[in-house]
Amino acid sequence: MIEKRNFYIDGTWVTPSAANDFEVINPSTEEPCAVISLGAQADTDAAVAAAKAALPGWMATPVEDRIALVEKLIGIYQSRSEDLAQAMSLEMGAPIDMARTQQSGAGMYHLANFVRAAKAFQFDRPLGDHAPNDRIIYEAVGVAALITPWNWPMNQVTLKVGAAAIAGCAMVLKPSEQSPLNAMIFAEMMDEAGFPAGVFNLVNGDGVGVGSQLSAHPDVDMVSFTGSTRAGTAISKSAADSLKKVHLELGGKGANVVFADADEKAVKRGVLHMMNNTGQSCNAPSRMLVQRPIYDQAVETAAEVASMVSVGSAQEEGRHIGPVVNELQWNKIQDLIQKGIDEGARLVTGGTGRPEGLNKGYYVRPTVFADANNQMTVAREEIFGPVLTMIPFDTEEEAVEIANDTPYGLTNYVQTQDGARANRMARVLRSGMVEMNGQSRSAGSPFGGMKQSGNGREGGLWGLEDFLEVKAVGGWAAE
């Protein structure tokens, strides 16, 4: 059992103001793996006060020096990557090989992309040739509250901290109480890199406690939140009283539109993408829309592929999926699978209960529903587990209508060998991101959504801009 109770505030590890212990559960075993303390109002106030005091000096630090500190952080991150992977595997159930490559690797990737983007970004620039005495200055939003989820912990921590640090914001990080250990390792890394006291602060807590306190705090200028749409709505309402800037990266119910001319690996690729991270990704392709001429074969292929996805302990090496994060999520997923059965979707593989041979741990059977329609619960709600819903369609127009008929708008996927059709689909699908034929978005591409999937963008240039204010200056004097 790991016991870490301290918070990182104003450049030092401090004892929480009140004893409010929380057990972190290893989802592979259902046993406690760590004890942390959840912060109280006094802890939140202390962290925000430290950030507020550090802000003027950090904003005045030349951007080249801020970038250099992030570059130093990247080297330290690399040396601690195994520690991060072990922590995430233990606390949120990412299989250790996947934790090493995807979970831990994501942080290095994002930090490097921020450095690249920042070096090419003009933080101070003329308005244009037509206005020689006008200047545009990009400066930090101010004190930023960063609230991160449990499903891709380092991915989200680095997307927020890297951008905020380079932009000149001082910050308070509240990681998910379900996966706090990796964030505390990250705080050690920030300390080792030499960020000035108060620029980065960490307070553990839950959403009702520290999360709500940060959202409503009068000295917080911005909230950057990744998590559920429900929580994002509550944060927006709380932040409205002080007109904070609010950045939200929320849920999704992505459509993977497979046309009859899709490549032969398209269905298999879509199923495996859905099962990655045990389906616990907001951009998962959870609705597979298949054109009717290949629909029956696609269902057969999807069932075969999903039935061969192995499930096991996150601490074991190998290519398998692990458990979902906790009992609450496990129960929710079971209820939704049963709902799919009750509403008439055809269960072609998987179902309720644990996989065979696993009687402990929050393991879910890789599940595929066929013959669904877009009004069924399994096609409407974000399940956040290894559950794929397949829906047939006839025409391109019908596919667009089904794909867009959702309150979410994060990521959609298109599988076709017709380039003109792929481009048409990209233009009409209502989502912040569209990926085609298994081609991932490139380094520095912005991540974010429309509608109830949130606002703002993370990563690269757009991620930096979200933490910056634009100041227009007239009458700029030559120096």
Single out the catalytic residue among 169, 282, 382, 465: 282
Joined together, the tokens standing for residue 179 give 């996966």
The SS3 assignment for 196 reads coil
Q: Verify whether residue 33 is a known catalytic residue.
A: no
* Region for 379 from its dihedrals, namely left if φ exceeds 0, alpha if ψ lies in -120 to 50, beta otherwise: alpha
Question: What's the CA gap between 311 and 469, in Å, rounded?
Answer: 46
Using the Cα atoms of residue 36, residue 38, residue 40 and residue 46 in order, give the sign of their dihedral: positive
404-422 in b/e form (b: 16+ CB < 10 A) is eebebbbbbbbbbeeeeeb
Cα separation, 472 vs 159, whole angstroms:
27
Say how far apart CA 336 and CA 435 lie, in whole Å: 27
Q: Which two tokens stand for residue 390?
A: 């397949």
- Residue in the block written with tokens 């996805």: 309
Q: Which of 177, 249, 382, 458 is catalytic?
A: 249
Phi, psi of 215 (to 5 degrees): -65, -30
Catalytic site residue 398?
no
Q: Which amino acid is at 335?
A: D
Map residue 389 onto helix, strand or coil.
Answer: strand
Task: Identify the residue whose tokens are 């409407």.
Answer: 380
Task: Read off the amino acid at residue 464.
Answer: L
Catalytic residues: 249, 282
